[in-house]
Structure 1
Amino acid sequence: MKVKKYTAPTMPEAMKQIRAELGNDAVILNSKIVTTGGFLGLFKKENIEVIAAIDEVVQAERKMQFEQPKVKVKPIVKPMPTMENREVVPLTSRNVAPSIPNPLPKQQTNEGNKKPDVDMLAEIAGLKKMLQTITEQQTDLPLPEPIQNCVQRLLDQEVPKDIRDELLTSLLQKWYSNGSGANEREVKKWLRQELYDRLSTLSFGRITFTKKYINLVGPTGVGKTTTLAKIAAECALKYKKRVALITTDTYRIAAIDQLKTYAKILNVPLEVCYSLEDYKQACEAFKDYDIILIDTAGRNFRNQQYVEDLKKVVDFEHDMETFLVLALTAKQKDMMDIYEQFSLIKINKFIFTKADETSTYGAMLHLMKTSHIGVAYITNGQNVPDDMISANREQVTNLILGVE
């Protein structure tokens, strides 16, 4: 692939230069306004700088179409001279064939074959660097249609700009290195693999029973109590564990009554704790149980004192795993603000609720990338113990790309 930068007073003049040198098949990768000249900051002149690229294979094919075929000239056979008119040729030049250059040594030929590979790697590296400068205002620049459709999907999902730019750079690298002939289905496979690989450093999946205490924290209204009941049902019914419940949500009588109802249905004990002393007594009472699930009060996440108050009721240091519960219907900024407040305590994984109440999941991807924290569960309804699935990389990727 050949990449070149052009500078001209106007875009039409820049396009004229590009067509003259690269042809009509050239692709515009980037364009911006630059200033040149001037004196002491004055009289500067605005020009437009355009970066264009052309697949050298396509350019070569175009060139061959316009080349004239070589015409073979039939040699003229002269009559054999007779003895009378034979010309006497000096001995130094008589019957000496023209010299033929020796073929290149094998080693030299091999080195020549390696040079295009080195040049291609250099061009790809240069392209990667240039594509990283693409700005959000330039998303309307001409892109190959399959790539444009994938970028539009990311925009619809409200995937943040920095992640979109990374993915676009990778897609364009694959597009040109594979000969610019991929269809939309293949480009979607590239995008899916790129998303999947970016989640490889995160931890996913349900509780592993390596910790005895599982604590759910989060703002009000995200569904912590219902989610706690779903986890309790999974542990008791599917994994046959002895489960006990603790709630510190003493601010809402309805929350205690709701959890009592779930505890009665599941036939598991429940303790209500108002202080750290109550919490320690409950833990002592449940010391023979396999797992203890803790429900905390949902309060205004903007009040940092709320997180400090949690430490006065729950012992986060002893055999504890903490999940931050967030609703996928929340705004990206709200999610980040909530995480920053709760980061005063160690968050092991996220639980995302209300997946059935939204169709955009870009905020989830942004939070995971920023915090470097994975996902334990994703809930998609109110039914207990159903409507909850253990999260994994494939599932999160499918949510972003709209794959069933």
Structure 2
Amino acid sequence: MKVKKYIAPSMPEAMKAIRAELGSEAVILNSKMIQTGGIFGFFKKKNIEVIAAVDPAAKTAQVPVIKEKQKNVPVKPEQSGRADSPFNKVYTGKGSDPEAKAPPELAREINELRSLISSVRFGGSDNAVSYPEPVLNAQKLMSGQGISTEIQKDILSVLVSNWYTGGATADDQEVFAWLKAELMKRISSLQFGGITFTKKYVNVVGPTGVGKTTTLAKMAADCILAHNKKVAFITTDTYRIAAIEQLKTYAKILNVPIEVCYNFDDFQKAASQFADYDTVLIDTAGRNFRNRQYVEDLKAVVDFEKEIETFLVLSLTSKQEDMEEIYKQFSLIHIDKLIFTKTDETSSYGAMINMIDKHSTGIAFLTYGQNVPDDMKHATAEVIVNTVLGVERHE
């Protein structure tokens, strides 16, 4: 792989120089506007910097002809990776790791190409990258799903090296399989799935409005129906009367006891009362956890490390920045897993990948409606990746 940088007054002139030196088989990797020359900061000239590459060993028919930088355009349905796109077909394994068979010299060139891609900045038209079309489709899918640029760069470096190492002939299905494999590799080491039942208390925390109380009822129903557990409710969310009444209604439907705790003496009494129960689900007030003293007092009642499993509930209709702030707010206690709600109210799921990748925290459940005990799915790494890639829907 030969990679070279060109500086010219315009794109046509840059392309002319690239064709003259690298030939018509070259492909543009990056282009951006720069300023050169000048005196004391004045009279600078605008030029375009273009990074191009060519694989001398590749056949002309296998390498895309050089073309001008692509403009950022809306993703068409057939490019989006949804169910009606060829980009959603899962590849079965052919050539899934081409670099493993690459000779040393080619492997070195691939690493250089990865380093080049890792330096690319996303978001500005002057820094757009002209990827091979199947890789470009993968980048559009990740971007459309809201996957962070840092994760995109890591994955795209692998996809591009795979594409060139495999002879520059991979189609959408093959590149899509590489994309899925890289996402799976990124999160598969984390813990997924619902309640472990290794601890008696299950603490469900989160801000108001994310569907926490309904999620708690779904979890209780799952414990009773799927695992034959003896379940009880404790609620400390005394700020919202509606929340208490809602949970009481669910308790009546599920035929489980509930205790409302206004202080820590109440909590201790409730814990004693439910000593013979298998699982005690705790509904907490969202704003309490901003107060460190509240957390310390609660720790005096329940050993968070030994006796309690804590799930943080986040809504997928929230902005990424809001999710980060919520996580920070509740991280005064140990968070075992995340629960994402309202998956049926959005078409963007990349925040799940961003959150679990950044915080190394797995996902317990996905919820997608108001029906109890339905509208909840146990999370796995494959369920999360398939949801992000549009292979799996929840509605």
TM range (shorter): 0.7 to 0.9
**Cα distance in structure 2, aligned partners of 1:61 and 1:29:** 19
**Cα distance in structure 2, aligned partners of 1:246 and 1:149:** 48
TM-score normalized by structure 2?
Answer: 0.82
Conserved? CA contact 1:23–1:59, under 8 Å = no
Report Cα offsets for 1:330-368 as digits up to 9, x if no partner.
111111111111111111111111111111112222111
Name the CA shift for 1:157/1:321 in 2 (closer, same or farther; >3 Å). same
Conserved? CA contact 2:204–2:312, under 8 Å = yes
Q: CA deviation at 1:50?
A: 2.0
Alignment of 1:3-402 (within 5 A): 3-34=3-34, 47-58=47-58, 117-136=103-122, 137-138=124-125, 140-299=128-287, 304-305=290-291, 308-313=293-298, 315-318=301-304, 319-402=307-390
Q: CA deviation at 1:24?
A: 1.3
Report Cα offsets for 1:220-275 as digits up to 9, x if no partner.
01111111111111111111111111111111222222212222222221111111
1:111 is matched with: none
Q: CA deviation at 1:43?
A: 6.5
**Cα distance in structure 2, aligned partners of 1:45 and 1:59:** 38
**Cα distance in structure 1, aligned partners of 2:286 and 2:60:** 66
AA aligned to 2:115 is K
Report Cα offsets for 1:120-158 as digits up to 9, x if no partner.
122111111101111112564322111112211122212
Report Cα offsets for 1:22-48 as digits up to 9, x if no partner.
211211112234555667666766543
AA aligned to 1:336 is E
**Cα distance in structure 2, aligned partners of 1:197 and 1:118:** 24
Conserved? CA contact 1:220–1:300, under 8 Å = no
Conserved? CA contact 1:275–1:313, under 8 Å = no
Conserved? CA contact 1:244–1:293, under 8 Å = yes
Conserved? CA contact 2:30–2:128, under 8 Å = no
For the aligned residue pairs, the C-alpha RMSD in angstroms reads 2.3
**Cα distance in structure 2, aligned partners of 1:375 and 1:358:** 18
Conserved? CA contact 1:274–1:313, under 8 Å = no
Q: How many residues align?
A: 348
Query: Which moves more between the two structures, 379-388 or 140-149?
Result: 140-149
AA aligned to 1:182 is A
Conserved? CA contact 2:341–2:367, under 8 Å = yes
**Cα distance in structure 1, aligned partners of 2:217 and 2:368:** 14
Name the CA shift for 1:178/1:370 in 2 (closer, same or farther; >3 Å). same
SS of residue paired to 2:314: strand
Name the CA shift for 1:397/1:60 in 2 (closer, same or farther; >3 Å). closer
Q: CA deviation at 1:308?
A: 4.2
Query: Which moves more between the two structures, 290-299 or 349-358?
Result: 290-299
TM-score normalized by structure 1?
Answer: 0.80
AA aligned to 2:297 is K
Name the CA shift for 1:283/1:181 in 2 (closer, same or farther; >3 Å). same
AA aligned to 1:270 is I
**Cα distance in structure 2, aligned partners of 1:388 and 1:60:** 51
What is the percent sequence identity of the aligned residues? 55
Structure 2, gaps ≥5 residues long? 63-101
Conserved? CA contact 2:295–2:333, under 8 Å = no
Name the CA shift for 1:56/1:255 in 2 (closer, same or farther; >3 Å). same
